[in-house]
């Protein structure tokens, strides 16, 4: 027997199962997991663990919405530490129906259900017009060029020169769909650095972050000290760089390492016990609040903004309104 977990952003996982129920009728051992604003990867891992430990099945298949999104990243972390677990992204109704139907057979295995998910998920995507056109040979697709770190030519290097930190974001998840798929294309940096001691020193997490990193730009996961050294290396003078860090504490540390930051995008900090809510997706501990006050004192502008098409909100005003500015 194989346990099926369907995990997706918002309330879409329960909705997908409700749709599948309209077609298949009642089924068992299929569990929806929601991912709502304010939740983090650890909440997803906790829910995955609860479902698996309560099940008698020996194998588990997670069907998630977005490759590189938090349900996938948490699932990959979960699968990397357990046997008999796999994660397939891009869940849709055809995939779900085929997998649930297959899971009901006595000889169902994780491997066979993964194969069904791949086949049904892609085969179910059809265009009426294309299906009624004569078959035509498809041109060979060009492979994406491998991204490489590019040094500034020696003639353009300036003694004491530094990178140009064009954008800095606070996001406790570091690299995920909103960052890789929306902010990086919007900012268009030449290089992208996730600066985090925790991630840089956790080989599994670092590997997962790089796996979902944007392919259009060279990405590195560095600890704060090394990020500072790279920023201050004349070899990269003027290179337009985007930083993402886990908390405002790390922004203060980057400033102390000599990184020049005038403005910070506060994108998302997930809730932990004892934190206060600043916006729909931003929570803060007392340590975070002290760091925000320090950044304001240093003249750094702080704006809360999840996505580029959202209106930015001045964090200093939020702190004053909530009586947290001192």
Active site residues: 9, 176
Q: 313-314 and 218-222 as β-strands: parallel, antiparallel, unpaired?
A: unpaired
Angstrom distances, CA of residue 218 to CA of 68, 147, 191, 192, 213:
17, 5, 5, 6, 9
Angstrom distances, CA of residue 291 to CA of 86, 127, 222, 235, 277:
39, 52, 21, 31, 16
CA–CA separation, 110 and 1 (whole Å): 9
Q: Is 300 helix (H, G, I), strand (E, B) or coil?
A: coil
Residues 6+ apart with CB under 8 A from 19: 93, 96
The Cβ-side half-sphere exposure at 223, using a 13 Å CA radius, reads 8
DSSP one-letter code for 83: S
Taking phi over 0 as left and psi of -120 to 50 as alpha, with beta for the rest, 258 belongs to left
The CA R_g of the chain, rounded to the nearest whole Å, is: 23
H-run or E-run covering 192: strand 191-195
Q: Which two tokens stand for residue 288?
A: 């975070």
CA–CA separation, 43 and 24 (whole Å): 30
């Amino acid at each position: 027997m194989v346990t099926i977990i369907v995990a997706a952003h918002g309330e879409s996982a329960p909705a997908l199962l409700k749709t599948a129920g309209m077609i298949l009728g009642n089924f068992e051992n299929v569990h929806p997991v929601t991912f709502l604003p304010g939740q983090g990867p650890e909440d997803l891992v906790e829910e995955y663990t609860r479902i698996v430990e309560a099940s008698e099945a020996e194998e588990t298949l997670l069907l998630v919405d977005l490759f590189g999104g938090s349900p996938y990243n948490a699932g990959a972390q979960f699968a990397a530490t357990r046997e008999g677990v796999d994660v397939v992204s891009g869940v849709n109704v055809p995939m779900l129906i085929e997998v649930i139907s297959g899971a009901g057979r006595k000889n169902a295995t994780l491997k066979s259900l993964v194969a069904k998910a791949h086949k049904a998920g892609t085969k179910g995507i059809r265009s009426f017009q294309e299906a009624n056109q004569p078959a035509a040979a498809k041109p060979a697709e060009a492979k994406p060029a491998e991204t490489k770190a590019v040094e500034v030519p020696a003639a353009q290097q300036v003694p004491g020169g530094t990178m140009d930190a064009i954008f800095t974001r606070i996001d406790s998840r570091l690299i995920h769909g909103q960052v890789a798929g929306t902010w990086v294309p919007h900012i268009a940096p030449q290089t992208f650095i996730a600066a985090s001691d925790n991630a840089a020193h956790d080989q599994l997490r670092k590997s997962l972050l790089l796996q979902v990193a944007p392919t259009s730009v060279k990405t590195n996961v560095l600890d704060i000290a090394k990020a500072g050294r790279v920023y201050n290396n004349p070899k990269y003078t003027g290179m337009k760089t985007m930083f993402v860090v886990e908390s405002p504490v790390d922004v203060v540390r980057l400033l102390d390492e000599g990184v020049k930051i005038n403005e910070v995008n506060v994108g998302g900090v997930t809730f932990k016990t004892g934190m206060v809510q600043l916006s729909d997706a931003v929570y803060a501990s007392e340590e975070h609040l002290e760091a925000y006050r320090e950044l304001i004192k240093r003249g750094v502008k702080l704006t809360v903004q999840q996505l580029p098409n959202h209106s930015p909100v001045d964090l200093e005003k939020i702190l004053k309104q909530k009586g947290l500015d001192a």
